[in-house]
Structure 1
Amino acid sequence: MTITGTTGRQVPGPSGLPLLGSMFDLKKDSLGTYLSAYREHGDVVRITAGPPGLRFELYAVFSAEGAQRVLATDSANFRKDNAFYQEVRESFGNGLLTAQDADYTRQRRLVQPLFTRRRVDGYADAITAETAVITAGWHAAPGGTVDVVDEMTRLTLRAVTRILFGGADVDEAVDVVERCFPVIGDYTLTRGYSPANVPRSWPTPFNRRAAAAMDELYGVCDAIIARRRAMGEEAKGNDLLTLLSQAESAEDGSLGASEIRDQVLVFLLAGHETTATSLAFSLHLLARHREVQARARDEAADVLKGRIPTAADLDSLPYITRVLKEAMRLYPAGPVIGRRSVEAMEIDGHVIPAGADVIISPWVTHRHSRYWDDPERFDPERFTPEREKERPRYAWFPFGGGPRACIGQHFSMLESVLALAMILQEFELDAVDLSVPVDTGITLRATGPARVVLRPTA
């Protein structure tokens, strides 16, 4: 199936079923569908899905050069105006993830100083303390077996909550997030990918369950923010909530209570789910590749000599960093990134029409044969400095890119490398599950266990 733009070549794509297009393929395995579309049709693909009257078109751009156009060079032409981001905005607020235009620019200017490398490095103690709590419990794991997906989700949630709220409010917030986030996430995802939705205000069981979860989540955040503001000068500290409350400038003013809550919700969402994915699949891959695991453990032992790592150790752990980057190549936490075009634009010789829903996909680009030899093979040596320089900038982009690149990139890398170094010092890992099925939600999610057997090191 093809269409013709005003210039450029015809845009190819899968034909799918006569009446439903690729609807069932996308529902069954969207990531596999995108990967097959690239392999069969090239770097720009048009995918149609849905019955007549509710059919939608999706333009997928898979090359590194195309991703750079969408995210960076021509980012003003590709906005977060699609239905999916609108649902995320309504569920998790108008924070940095979803805000646009003047709102986004103002928020970014106010929040950016809180994510400098020096500021983020100050959170290393909280990261290592929570990692120590998690690994201490592993010594009593039944059969010495844990599911690293569950364990890394617990670790990153506790770490980001501690960094956001400080010690006093961690347990209260973690309990609510663990209970409410899955409900809100599934609700948002279902509505974001549905061709038609009833209004959120209608009292359907689905709407009411999600509304109750949002009320509880918003309520605990608002209560913590109100308590912190009521303390005034007594609330001074290094937790992120205090710093958000104090952020101000002559040009942008300060963040109001609802704006602070929106940022907190985004940080809770992006700050634990994405890093948990990177950590879990790093451990899964290390457990399957014992030689790589041994080399990474040797590096941790040589650098740390049994002590707790600090932020100053990050640059001294290059091999563990390469392991992490390769895991993020194979299992990017944000496997698909959506935008909507403003004006028609030619990319890779094909026209993307005005008003089109557009995706770029780290999942696919990270497997693109032009940039990666034997792309399904796990090989941390792909990320030596020399080999990284040989590839286009957007051959690897797990943190997005351009003016909307993830503000927490250094935080995620710091947390992941320090946690991996601590775990490798303490345990050897053997894989129970040799493959882990995945699906795409708001972030990449495992749909099956990733169990490993733990053996304490000598």
Structure 2
Amino acid sequence: MRPEAYRAIPAMPGALPVLGHLHHFARDPLGFFTQMREQGDVVRWRLGPQRNVFISNPADIAATLLNVEKTFSRGDDHGYAFELFAGNGIIVTHGDFWRRQRKMMQPAMRPQRVAGYADTMVELTDHMLDGWRDGQRRDIRADMLGLTQKIAARTLFGADVTGDAAAVGQALDIASREIGAEFRGITMFLPPWLATPGRRRLKAAIAEVESVLYRIIDERRTTHPDGRPDDLLALLMDARDDEGRPMSDTQLRDETMSLYIAGHETTGNTLVWAYLLLSRHPEARERMAAEITDVVGDRLPVMDDHRSLPYTEAVVKETLRLYPPAWLLPVRATIDVEIAGHQIHTGTDVWMSQWATHRDPRWFTHPEEFRPERFLGEAARTIPKFAWFPFGGGPHVCLGSRFALVEAVLILATIAQRFHLHIDPALDLPPRPLLTLHPGRDVPARVVHTPAHLTPTRASR
């Protein structure tokens, strides 16, 4: 298409000199991207000096994500705070190095490997439930994050990090908060050498997590030089690139840091949102419980049950639609490219928001309502591709997407055999868009024992 034939890209109103739309973005990023979606499918906006384009139509999102590594990249400037956390991990790299790392890590997330982690997911969930009592009040956010942290540690490192759990959990919370604060504030434009209070807190939090990661890696090298445990870390340590080179300890740190927080924080928070939604929609909770009873009975769930629990998986998918852990996804144009008849110049950052597109009434009827049935049968087939993309898409789709779905389904199934979790439906729980989408506060829940005939017996457990 000739340059004169391109359509002008409408601009988001309200930009300030120098700052652009930073004030709107910082104050309410979820609302800001929703407002841009209502302005049109392709909208110009500015974040300080950087000129950006926001897209929200699934067809444009598909064309963009499927062409990452051809006409788009993940970008080289992720902000000091995020780069301090992620290092040179697969979630931020692109090009030849990304292809090297992806090839080395892919075997660790193949379906047969995920199947091997299912028993660990169920075992640790069942062990957690042994400490619950009928009528008890619990902070379900702390419970779910603690559980998924243990699962991540066991499957990733073959290790029990109980002694480090509190410190690591607190450090990850601080890291997520400080990365989100810098990303949404004026500090994102400050040079890396400027040590703000937030950056000092972030460095200390990352050092806390790194101390655990490096200790485990070091113990693995010295204690298990041969015959390493069958876990993700062993696969990563044994992996070799096309030239026979292993990952360095620094690269192992970068990849395990990403896998650890992804396996811990995203699934843990998704489960919290799921229980809030199920408490507000008891008919969905009862349907899910009935499906689990029919399929699993009085034994503990196993990997094969995942395929036979479509409604339970639909609950997870609908939760991911309404509360996507990854709520924002930017890429950068590496050449001039066309999107929906508009010219996007080299170097332009193209932003997509799962939050905004997942709640677009063009793709989802009554988008603010919780309807797991959207993801069943014919209804699921009518959802446009990339109208639902909680794990991204294209070459850079999240490696752990299958792990996350299986984990959430099996945890819901295991808990449902023994307990319901009731959260006050009127609880005000605003989402906080930090590194991932968080509940904005602790989440108290009342534990309600299921009828005795549904509870697994000691023998079957």
For normalisation by structure 2, the TM-score amounts to: 0.90
Matching residue within 161, 181, 196 for 1:190:
181
Per the alignment, residue 51 of structure 2 pairs with 57
Matching residue within 124, 131, 135 for 2:125:
131
Per the alignment, residue 234 of structure 2 pairs with 242
Rounded Cα–Cα distance in structure 2 between residues aligned with 1:108 and 1:55: 33
Rounded Cα–Cα distance in structure 2 between residues aligned with 1:325 and 1:442: 20
Rounded Cα–Cα distance in structure 2 between residues aligned with 1:218 and 1:18: 40
Rounded Cα–Cα distance in structure 1 between residues aligned with 2:339 and 2:31: 23
Offset from partner CA, 1:281-328 (integer Å, 9 cap, x none) = 111111110111101000111111121101111101111011111111
Offset from partner CA, 1:165-216 (integer Å, 9 cap, x none) = 213x422443442132222223333333445544444455433333233233
Offset from partner CA, 1:232-285 (integer Å, 9 cap, x none) = 445521121122111225445321221111111011121111111221111111
For 2:205, give the aligned amino acid: A
Cα pair distance change 1:93/1:17, threshold 3 Å: closer
Per the alignment, residue 150 of structure 1 pairs with 142
Instruction: Give the C-alpha shift of residue 118 in structure 1.
Output: 0.6
Segments of structure 1 that go 5 or more residues without pairing to the other structure are: none
SS of residue paired to 1:48: strand
Q: How does 1:16-27 map to 2 (within 5 A)?
A: 16=14, 18-19=16-17, 21-27=20-26
For 1:42, give the aligned amino acid: G
Per the alignment, residue 88 of structure 1 pairs with 82
Per the alignment, residue 457 of structure 2 pairs with none
Q: How does 1:21-420 map to 2 (within 5 A)?
A: 21-39=20-38, 41-49=39-47, 54-73=48-67, 75-81=69-75, 83-84=77-78, 87-139=81-133, 144-167=136-159, 169-195=160-186, 196-251=188-243, 253-420=245-412
Does the aligned pair in 2 maintain the 1:399–1:405 contact within 8 Å? Answer: yes
Instruction: Give the C-alpha shift of residue 17 in structure 1.
Output: 5.5
For 1:457, give the aligned amino acid: T
Cα pair distance change 1:206/1:293, threshold 3 Å: closer
Offset from partner CA, 1:101-148 (integer Å, 9 cap, x none) = 1111111111111111111111112111221233233327xx633333
For normalisation by structure 1, the TM-score amounts to: 0.91
Does the aligned pair in 1 maintain the 2:81–2:178 contact within 8 Å? Answer: no
Offset from partner CA, 1:398-449 (integer Å, 9 cap, x none) = 1110000010111101110000011222122333153420121111111134
Does the aligned pair in 1 maintain the 2:68–2:395 contact within 8 Å? Answer: no
CA RMSD of aligned residues (A): 2.2
Cα pair distance change 1:166/1:384, threshold 3 Å: same
Rounded Cα–Cα distance in structure 2 between residues aligned with 1:317 and 1:339: 35
Rounded Cα–Cα distance in structure 2 between residues aligned with 1:213 and 1:277: 20
Does the aligned pair in 2 maintain the 1:299–1:317 contact within 8 Å? Answer: yes
Does the aligned pair in 2 maintain the 1:126–1:163 contact within 8 Å? Answer: yes
Does the aligned pair in 2 maintain the 1:82–1:357 contact within 8 Å? Answer: no
Offset from partner CA, 1:335-363 (integer Å, 9 cap, x none) = 11011222232212323222112211111
Rounded Cα–Cα distance in structure 2 between residues aligned with 1:275 and 1:345: 35
